Amino acid sequence: MIDHEEKAYLKRMGTKDERKKLLRQIFGEDADGFIERPERAINTTPLFPLGEILPDVVERLKLLLTEDGKLELAASVEGLQVYDRCRCGVDYCATVYTKPRPSGGFGPTHRNLVFWNPDTEHTTIIDVVDSGIACIEILDDHDSRDRLTAALPEDTPTE
């Protein structure tokens, strides 16, 4: 499986054809299995409120953001909608998109807020675009991942 660091590196590598060529150079002609994933359409319609499947995450985010002095973001958490989830396949990833997933990066107004809890060892990375939460990367929280993948299985259609 390709982890988030490798995925980010591959994005910087150039076009899809350039990446395929590089992987073929490394792995030979069998490299297609590593890179051929069907492209999912980007969902632009909210599917359900985040709190419907991850109410504990909503409460945790409100607390973290409030403690960090990000009061406007904390106030917005209750109204976050789920558009999709990350489908990287890594067993520790429970990333959820609260705005339509970008086809590339989030753009120049993107910033990250990173929180790590030593008691649970969960890492939460909040992707903020403009002044709103676009994505919540929840790492090493297997319960959240299980609930998220149950709510949005692999065959979940997009619009």
15-45 pLDDT, tens digit per residue, is 666 656 665 665 555 544 444 455 678 888 9
Angle at 114 between CA 123 and CA 73, to 5 degrees: 115
The contacts of residue 20 (CB under 8 Å, 6+ apart) are 31, 32, 35
Give residue-wise pLDDT tens across range 43-60: 889 999 999 999 999 999
Cα–Cα nearest to 40, from 8, 87, 75:
87
Write down the pLDDT at residue 35: 44
Give residue-wise pLDDT tens across range 74-106: 999 999 999 999 988 888 899 999 999 888 888
Write down the pLDDT at residue 88: 84
Q: What tokens does 144 get?
A: 């959240």
Q: Please list the residues that pair with 108 across neighbouring strands.
A: none
Confidence label for 121 from pLDDT (cuts 50, 70 and 90): confident
Write down the pLDDT at residue 104: 81
Write down the pLDDT at residue 132: 95
Instruction: Please write down the long-range contacts of 85-90, taking CB distance under 8 Å and 24 or more positions apart.
Output: 85/148, 85/149, 85/152, 86/137, 87/40, 87/154, 88/1, 88/2, 88/3, 88/4, 88/7, 89/1, 90/1, 90/3, 90/4
Confidence label for 154 from pLDDT (cuts 50, 70 and 90): confident
- Helical H segments across the chain, by residue range: 4-12, 16-27, 32-35, 50-53, 55-67, 71-76, 142-151
